[in-house]
Structure 1
């Protein structure tokens, strides 16, 4: 990225941390949704 040369080092680290945190949040959300779906599937099996 050609912007890296003008971007202060701190900002790069901060940006990376932000991205990492966002990715982690998204991963947790996706995983939680997946687990919810699986739980719903299991309870549907018990219902019928």
Structure 2
């Protein structure tokens, strides 16, 4: 099973996600760590103001 929360991600994975955000100029909202729906992490709520 993959990580199921932001805090369970390895430091290198978090660093990678932050770098992707820099490159695309937008926040990452969802992150999946496996094909399973339960392994999807809500990084930022895209519907929140």
Q: Which has the larger radius of gyration?
A: 1
Looking at secondary structure, tell me which structure has more helix per residue.
1
Q: Normalising to structure 1: TM-score of the pair?
A: 0.41
More strand as a share of residues? 2
Higher relative contact order (CA 8 A, sep 6+): 2
